[in-house]
Chains A and B, each alone.
Chain A
Amino acid sequence: MEFTLLGIGILTWITFLPVVGMVAVLLLPKNSKDAIRWTSLGVTILQVVLAVVIYSRFDRSLAGINSVAGMQFVEQGTWIDIPSVAWFGRVHIEYFLGIDGLSVVMVLLTALVSFIATISSWKIDRSEKGYFALLLLLNTGMMGVFVSLDFFLFYVFWEVMLLPMYFLIGVWGGPRREYAAIKFFLYTLFGSVLMLLAMIALYFSTNVYIDGAGVIHSIAEGTKSGLAGLEKIHTFNLLAMMDPGNMVPGSLLAGWETSWRYIAYVGLFIGFAIKVPLFPFHTWLPDAHVEAPTPISVILAGVLLKMGTYGMLRISFPVFPDAMLHFSWELALLGVISMVYGALVAMAQTDFKKLIAYSSISHMGVVILGMASMNTQGMTGAVLQMFNHGTITAMLFLIVGVIYDRAHTRGVNEFGGLMNKMPRYSAVMVIAFFAALGLPGLSGFISEAFSLLGAFQTFRTLTIIAAVTIVLTAGYMLWVLQRVFLGTLPEKWAGLTDMDGRETFMLVTLAVIVIFLGIYPAPVLDLMNASMNSLAGIMQHAGTTGMMGMQ
C-alpha cells in the first residue's frame, strides 16, 4: 500500500506538515496572532484529512508487526550512511516509516487530539508565536514516534517531542511550572537514557546484509538468495531486530532467555514505563498535569502517555518475546497496582485536575494489564483502551479547563450545582464521566471489558483484584460529579456562563466519537485485528517453542 503526494509519502506528509507549519508560524510577525492560530489550526486540519485518507486506504487484512510486507504506506530509504565511523564500522541508518494495525490507531488518535488541542489553545494569550511553534514541533515528534520503524528514528522523534513539551509546561504553565517541567523532562530523559542503552546494545547485536543499492536483507534471506558475499552491517531497523536469525552469534543480546536480554528488556521497559506512567514511576504526571495549560494536558494525557505502551507493544514485545514472557506476571502486577493504586489516590484528591491525572494512571494500568495477557482479546482491549483513554481523558481535561477558565480554581469542594447553571457543559460532563467509569454504551467500557476478559484468561487472581477498580472508579467519579455538579450553586459562582461555541465543538466532537465507538467499535477494531492476532501469535510461538523454535 503506497500513497504519495507530490512524490512524498503520506506518512512523511502527516509527520512533517507541522514542521512546515512551524516555519510558517515563525516567519509570521509576532503580533498577527490570528494568522498564527489559523495557520496552526490549518495544519492540524490537514493532518486530520490525511488521517482520514490513511484510514480509508488502510488494508485491514495486513498484519505488519514483524514483516515489512505487512507494513503499509512504507517509505524506506537511506538516511545516514557513513562508510566508517572510527570503531563503529559502517553506520547505515534508515529513514523507514510504515504503519500497521497497531500504529494506525495511534496515528488517528494523534491527528484527532492535536486538532482538538489546537482549538483548545485559542485562548492562550502569552507569546502565541512561540507557543504554537512549539505545539507544532511537539506534534511532529508524536506523529514520528508512531510511524517510525527504525529504532534510531524512533528515538530521535521521542526526544524531539521532549523539548517542546518541556517549554510548553515550563513557560505557559501554572505557578509551579518550572518544577513540574524539569521533573517531567529529567524523569523522561532518565528513561530515554536506559532506552538508548538498550537500543545501542540491540544495534551491535543485530546484523543484516546490505546490497549495493543500500537495501538491507535479513541474514536468512541473504544466505538463501546467494547474497552472502555482501557486506554485513549493524542496523537500527526494528523489523530486523525482531528476527532472531539476525542476531550476531555471541553478541550481547544473542540467544534466548539470557540475563543480558532480560537486562536490556528491563532497561527498555523502564524507559517506556516512565512514559505510561506505571507505578512507581508515575509521580511526575500529576505535577505535570496540574501545572500544564489545558491543551497541553490534553496532549499529554491524550497522546504522550500512549507512547509508553505503544513502545512496549511495538518494540519490547516482538524484539524480546522471551523476556516479555518471563516478566509477564510482573508486568501485569504493575498494571494492576497502577489501576487500584491510581484509583485510590485519585479518590483522595481535592484538586479536580490532579484527580483526573491520577485517574489516568489507573486507566493506563488497564492498558498494561490487557497487553500483559498476550492474547488477542487482551491486547485488542489494550490498544482500544489507548485510543479510548485518549478521547475520554481529553474530554475530562477539557472539562476541567472550561471551569478553570471561568472560576480560576479547581478545588472540587468549592463548587456545586453547576448542573443547573451550565446545562450544556453538564451534559457532556455526564458523558465523559460515565465513559471514564466504564458505562456500557460508551467507548471506555468495551476496551476495559476486553482488557479484563483477556487478562482473566492469563492471570485469574490479578484480574479479579484489578476488577475492584470497576467499583472504585465509579466511587471517585460519581463523588466528584456530586461535589461539583449536584447540590446547590454557591453564591459566588452565580456569574458563571455555559460553554461557548468553541468549547462545545471540541467536547461534542469527542463525545460523538465516545458514543459511536461505545456502540460500534468495529471501525477501530477492524484496523488493528490482523496485527493483534499476529502479535499474539508471535508471543505464543515464543512461549511454546522457546529457543529451539527460534533457530
Chain B
Amino acid sequence: MSADTLVTLSLAVLLLPLAGFVLMMFFGKKLPRQGDWLETGIITIALGIALYVLFQKMTTFAGEVGSLRFTWIDFHEVPGIGPLKIVLGFTIDNLAAIMMAVVMIISTLVHYFSIGYMHDDVRYSRYFGYLGIFTFSMLVIVLADNLFLLYVGWELVGLSSYLLIGHWYEKKSASNAAMKAFITNRVGDLGFFIGMAIMFTTFHTFGLTEIFAGLQSGQMPLGSESWLTVAGVLIFCGAIGKSAQFPLHVWLPDAMEGPTPVSALIHAATMVAAGVYLVARVFPLLTADALMVIAYIGLTTAFISATIAIAQNDIKKVLAYSTISQLGYMVMGLGVGAYTYGFMHLVTHAMFKAGLFLGSGSVIHAMHGAMHHQHDHHTDPQDIRNMGGLRTKMPVTFWAFVIYTLAISGVPLTSGFMSKDGILAGTMAFAGFTGHTLIPIVGFFVAGLTAFYMFRLVILTFLGAHADEKRFAHVHESPKVMIIPLMILAVLSVFVFYSWNPLDASHGWISQALPRPATVVPEHLAATEAAEFAEGVHHAHMPAMLLSLTVAGLGIALAFATYYWKKISADRIATSLAPVHRFLVDKWRFDELYGTVVVGGTLALTRALNWVDSKIIDGAVNGAGWATRGTSFISSRFDALVIDGIVNLSAYLSGFGGLVLRKFQTGKVQTYVLFTVASVLVLYFVFRMV
C-alpha cells in the first residue's frame, strides 16, 4: 500500500455518493422505504473508508501526498504556447484527508437524522438523492488538486444547495431563497473564474502544484506583482460567495428555508466552509496584501452578523447568523496567518454547528408535532418566543445543545475553545507585527457577543417556562434515530478528539498535521514568515486565553442576567435604542439595499433595453423595410415585365408552385434580385477599369 492507494480509496468515497444519487433518482421511489436505507448505507460505507484513509494518512503516510492525475483534454501543439494538456487530478494530503473525514461524518449523521426528521416528506427519496449529489460535489472540492476541478465542485455544490434549499418549492419563499443562493454565489464565482483565468493565462495549467512552482520560480501572473495580489483576492471572491462573507452573506439566512438537516450539513458545517477550505488550499500564493483583504473581510463579516444574531427570534436565523459570524472568524484567522487554527476552527465548528442545527431541528420537530396535535397552524414553530422550558421534555436535545453552545462560546474543555483561542492569539500576534489592532479588538468583542446570543438562545428555548402550557403537554423528545446523531456530535465537541491538552492545541494532532504551508510569493510581498508568526502566537497565547475567557464569561453572565434572572430588561433596552434595534432586526438592511439597487437596477435596465430593442433597433429594421417597399413599388412600375419573367421562371424551376409565385409577386424580393444583378454589372465595370 502506498499513498496513492489512499487516493484510490478516496475516489471510492467520492464516487459512492454519486452512485447513491443516480440510484435514488432512478429507483428510489420504487424501493421499500423509498430507499433511505440504500443511500444511508452507501454513505455509511463511504464514511468507513474515509475514516480509514484518515487514519492511514495520519499514521503511516503522514509526510506523503498521494495523487492521481489524468489528461482530460489534449490540445497538442498549440501555436504560441507549445504542447498544452489540461491535466486534472485528485490528491490526498493532510488537509484533504481531514476535510474528507469531516464531510463524511457530518453527512452520515445528517443522513440518519433525516430518516427521522423527513419521514413523511412528499419527496423523501429525492431528498436523499440530493444529499448524495451534494456529498459527491463537496468531495470533488476536497480532493481536487487543481483550480478547474475546484471550480467544478464549487458550482456543483451550488446546484445541490439550490435543489435542497428549494426542496419545498411549492413555497414561494423557498424557491426565492434557492434562486437567491445560486445567483449570489455566482457573483462570487465570477471573481473565482477570473482569478482562475489569470492563472491559466500565465501558467497554462490549472494544477496548484504547477502554479506554486511557477510562482516560486519568479514568474508573476500576467507579468506583474500586483496581478498576483489581484488574482489571490479574485479567487477569494469565490470564498466570499460560498462562505457567505460580507458583502455576499445575504443568501445564507434565507437558505434556512431548506429542511433543517440540510441547513446543518450544507449551510453550517461543510459547504459554507468550502470557502475557508479554498483559502487554505491556495494559501501559499496569497500575498500579504491579499491576506490583509481577507482578514478584514472576515472581520467585517464576523462583526456584522454577530450583531444581527442578537436581535433575531427565529431559532434557525440566529444559528444562521452565528454561522456567518464563525465563518468570518475562520476567514479572519486565515487572513492574519493563523492557518492551523483557522482550519481547525472549521473542523470543530463543523461538529458543534451541525449539532446546533440538528438540535434546533429536533426542537422544531417537537414543536411542530405538538402544534400539529393541537391543530395549530398559525404559531411559528421556529420562533424562540414561543418556546421555553423544553429542558425537561427534551433532556437529550437540551444537554447536547448546551455542550455545543459551550463549544461555540469558547468555554474551556470544549473543542471550540481551543480553535477560537488559537485564532484570537493569531490576531494579537498579527496586530503586534502589523499594527492592525482593530482586528483583535473586534475579534474579542465578537467572541463576547457570540457567548451572549448563544446563551440567550439556550435560555429562551430550553429554560424558564413554556409559552403555552397546553402545547407543552404534547412536546416529546425526538426519536432515537435523531438524538443519537446529537449525542455523537456532542461527544465530538469535546477537546479530547483534537488535542490532549485542553488549554493548548498546538501539540494536538491537527496542529501537527497542518503546519502553515510555506509561501511561494516573493519575499517582499509575503506576510510574516511562519516560524516568526508562530513565535508571536506563542507569546500571545496566555493573554489571549485569559481575555477570551473573560469576554465569554461576561457574555454568558449578561445573557443569564437578562434572559434568565431578568435583572436587565431586554425590552427596555430595545425601546430606548429603537433605531439601533430596528436596524439589527432588519439585518442592517442589506436585503433592501441589494433589492433596490442591484436587482431593481438590473430589472429596470432589462426593461429599458427591451424597449430599445423593439423600438429602436428593430424599428430601424422595419423602417428600412418600409423604405424599401416604397422603392420597390416604384421600381415595379418600371420593371414589372422583366421581374415577372424572372420570378415566373425561377418559380417554375423550383417547382414549388403557387406559394412561391404569390410571395414573389407581391413581396419585395424583386428589388434585391435586381440589385444583385446590377451589382454584378457595376463590379464588372469596376474591374474593367482597375
Residues of A within 8 A of B (CB): 87-88, 130, 163, 166-167, 170-171, 182-183, 185-187, 189-190, 193, 196-197, 200-201, 204, 250-252, 280, 282-284, 341, 344-345, 347-349, 375-377, 380, 417, 419-420, 434, 439-441, 445, 449, 452-453, 456-457, 460, 463-464, 467-468, 470-472, 474-475, 478-479, 482, 486-488, 520-522, 525-526, 529-530, 532-533, 536-537, 540
B690 contacts A251, CB within 8 Å?
yes
Q: Which residues of A contact B690 (CB under 8 A)?
A: 250-252
**Quick check: is B634 within 8 A (CB to CB) of the other chain?**
no
Complex CA–CA separation, A451 to B130 (angstroms): 31
**Quick check: is B27 within 8 A (CB to CB) of the other chain?**
no
B73 contacts A470, CB within 8 Å?
no
Q: Assuming the A-B contacts A348-B607, A471-B183, are A252 and B669 also in contact, with contact meaning beta carbons closer than 8 angstroms in the complex?
A: no
Q: Assuming the A-B contacts A441-B152, A479-B179, are A419 and B169 also in contact, with contact meaning beta carbons closer than 8 angstroms in the complex?
A: yes
A525 contacts B73, CB within 8 Å?
yes
The distance from the CB of B441 to the nearest CB of chain A, in whole angstroms, is 36
Q: Which residues of B contact A467 (CB under 8 A)?
A: 190, 193-194
Q: Which of B75, B613, B679 contacts A193 (CB 8 A)?
A: B679
A536 contacts B609, CB within 8 Å?
no
A204 contacts B79, CB within 8 Å?
no
B75 contacts A283, CB within 8 Å?
no
Complex CA–CA separation, A482 to B79 (angstroms): 45
Q: Which residues of A contact B60 (CB under 8 A)?
A: none
**Quick check: is B638 within 8 A (CB to CB) of the other chain?**
no
Complex CA–CA separation, A71 to B668 (angstroms): 40
B193 contacts A452, CB within 8 Å?
yes
Complex CA–CA separation, A193 to B189 (angstroms): 44
Q: Which residues of B contact A345 (CB under 8 A)?
A: 606, 609-610, 613
Which of B39-47, B451-459, B680-688 is the contact stretch?
B680-688
Q: Which of A252, A375, A468, A478 contacts B687 (CB 8 A)?
A: A252
The distance from the CB of A420 to the nearest CB of chain B, in whole angstroms, is 8
Complex CA–CA separation, A252 to B682 (angstroms): 14
Complex CA–CA separation, A204 to B74 (angstroms): 41
Closest to B599 in A: A475
**Quick check: is B197 within 8 A (CB to CB) of the other chain?**
yes
B159 contacts A196, CB within 8 Å?
no
Q: Which of B81, B156, B179, B625 contacts A439 (CB 8 A)?
A: B156
Q: Which residues of A contact B469 (CB under 8 A)?
A: none
B193 contacts A376, CB within 8 Å?
no
**Quick check: is B573 within 8 A (CB to CB) of the other chain?**
no
Q: List 11 contacting pairs A-B, 8 Å CB cutoff, sorted by A.
A: A193-B676, A282-B617, A284-B621, A375-B80, A377-B78, A453-B200, A463-B197, A470-B190, A471-B183, A487-B172, A537-B79
A187 contacts B675, CB within 8 Å?
no
Task: Beyond A185-B669, A488-B170, list 5 extra A-B contacts (CB 8 Å).
Answer: A186-B669, A189-B672, A204-B687, A280-B617, A522-B73
Q: Which residues of A contact B603 (CB under 8 A)?
A: 347-348
Complex CA–CA separation, A434 to B189 (angstroms): 15
The distance from the CB of B233 to the nearest CB of chain A, in whole angstroms, is 14
Complex CA–CA separation, A162 to B45 (angstroms): 60
Closest to B191 in A: A467
A486 contacts B186, CB within 8 Å?
no
A439 contacts B200, CB within 8 Å?
no
**Quick check: is B596 within 8 A (CB to CB) of the other chain?**
no
Complex CA–CA separation, A193 to B194 (angstroms): 41
Count, chain B residues at interface, CB 8 A: 71
**Quick check: is B175 within 8 A (CB to CB) of the other chain?**
yes
What does the 1/0 interface line of B615-636 toward A look like (CB < 8 Å)? 0011001000100100000000
Q: Which residues of A contact B621 (CB under 8 A)?
A: 183, 187, 283-284
Q: Assuming the A-B contacts A196-B676, A348-B607, are A376 and B618 also in contact, with contact meaning beta carbons closer than 8 angstroms in the complex?
A: no
Closest 8 CB pairs of A and B: A348-B610, A440-B152, A283-B618, A348-B606, A486-B169, A537-B79, A486-B175, A456-B197
Q: Which of A186, A348, A464, A536 contacts B625 (CB 8 A)?
A: A186
Determine the main DSSP class of B at the interface with A: helix
The distance from the CB of A83 to the nearest CB of chain B, in whole angstroms, is 18
Q: Which residues of A contact B194 (CB under 8 A)?
A: 456, 463-464, 467
**Quick check: is B151 within 8 A (CB to CB) of the other chain?**
yes
The distance from the CB of B71 to the nearest CB of chain A, in whole angstroms, is 9
Q: Which residues of A contact B72 (CB under 8 A)?
A: 520, 522
Residues of chain B in range 632-676 having any CB-CB distance to chain A below 8 Å: 654, 656, 659-660, 663, 667-669, 672, 675-676
**Quick check: is B121 within 8 A (CB to CB) of the other chain?**
no
Closest to B200 in A: A453
Q: Which residues of B contact A185 (CB under 8 A)?
A: 669
Q: Which of A167, A201, A284, A439 contacts B659 (CB 8 A)?
A: A167
The distance from the CB of A164 to the nearest CB of chain B, in whole angstroms, is 9
Complex CA–CA separation, A344 to B609 (angstroms): 7
Residues of chain B in range 125-166 having any CB-CB distance to chain A below 8 Å: 151-152, 155-156, 159, 162, 166
Q: Which residues of B contact A521 (CB under 8 A)?
A: 73
A471 contacts B688, CB within 8 Å?
no
**Quick check: is B472 within 8 A (CB to CB) of the other chain?**
no
The distance from the CB of A187 to the nearest CB of chain B, in whole angstroms, is 7
Residues of B within 8 A of A (CB): 72-81, 84, 151-152, 155-156, 159, 162, 166, 169-170, 172, 175-176, 178-179, 182-183, 186-187, 189-190, 193-194, 197-198, 200-201, 222, 602-603, 605-607, 609-610, 613-614, 617-618, 621, 625, 628, 654, 656, 659-660, 663, 667-669, 672, 675-676, 679-680, 683-684, 686-688, 690
Q: Which residues of B contact A349 (CB under 8 A)?
A: 610
Q: Which residues of B contact A166 (CB under 8 A)?
A: 663
B609 contacts A487, CB within 8 Å?
no
The distance from the CB of A118 to the nearest CB of chain B, in whole angstroms, is 20
Q: Which of B73, B156, B609, B679 contacts A341 (CB 8 A)?
A: B609
Q: Assuming the A-B contacts A347-B602, A347-B606, are A440 and B156 also in contact, with contact meaning beta carbons closer than 8 angstroms in the complex?
A: yes
B656 contacts A456, CB within 8 Å?
no
Q: Assuming the A-B contacts A347-B603, A475-B602, are A163 and B610 also in contact, with contact meaning beta carbons closer than 8 angstroms in the complex?
A: no
B683 contacts A182, CB within 8 Å?
no
The distance from the CB of A20 to the nearest CB of chain B, in whole angstroms, is 15
Q: Which residues of B contact A171 (CB under 8 A)?
A: 659
Complex CA–CA separation, A317 to B688 (angstroms): 28
Closest to A341 in B: B609
Closest to B198 in A: A456
B77 contacts A196, CB within 8 Å?
no
A533 contacts B152, CB within 8 Å?
no
Q: Assuming the A-B contacts A478-B183, A536-B80, are A456 and B201 also in contact, with contact meaning beta carbons closer than 8 angstroms in the complex?
A: yes
B684 contacts A376, CB within 8 Å?
no
Q: Which residues of A contact B668 (CB under 8 A)?
A: 182, 186
Q: Which residues of B contact A190 (CB under 8 A)?
A: 672
Q: Assuming the A-B contacts A193-B672, A200-B680, are A533 and B78 also in contact, with contact meaning beta carbons closer than 8 angstroms in the complex?
A: yes
B183 contacts A439, CB within 8 Å?
no
B684 contacts A87, CB within 8 Å?
yes
The distance from the CB of B193 to the nearest CB of chain A, in whole angstroms, is 6
A283 contacts B193, CB within 8 Å?
no
A453 contacts B201, CB within 8 Å?
yes
B170 contacts A201, CB within 8 Å?
no
The distance from the CB of A471 to the nearest CB of chain B, in whole angstroms, is 5
Q: Which residues of B contact A440 (CB under 8 A)?
A: 151-152, 155-156
A478 contacts B197, CB within 8 Å?
no
Q: Which residues of B contact A536 (CB under 8 A)?
A: 78-80
Q: Which residues of A contact B606 (CB under 8 A)?
A: 344-345, 347-348
Complex CA–CA separation, A384 to B688 (angstroms): 44
Q: Which of A377, A417, A470 contacts B186 (CB 8 A)?
A: A470
B187 contacts A540, CB within 8 Å?
no
B170 contacts A417, CB within 8 Å?
yes
Q: Which residues of B contact A380 (CB under 8 A)?
A: 75
Q: Assuming the A-B contacts A183-B621, A193-B672, A380-B75, are A439 and B201 also in contact, with contact meaning beta carbons closer than 8 angstroms in the complex?
A: no
B79 contacts A540, CB within 8 Å?
yes
Q: Which of B79, B176, B686 contacts A376 (CB 8 A)?
A: B79
Complex CA–CA separation, A5 to B688 (angstroms): 45
Q: Which residues of B contact A88 (CB under 8 A)?
A: 684
A182 contacts B667, CB within 8 Å?
yes
Complex CA–CA separation, A189 to B607 (angstroms): 31
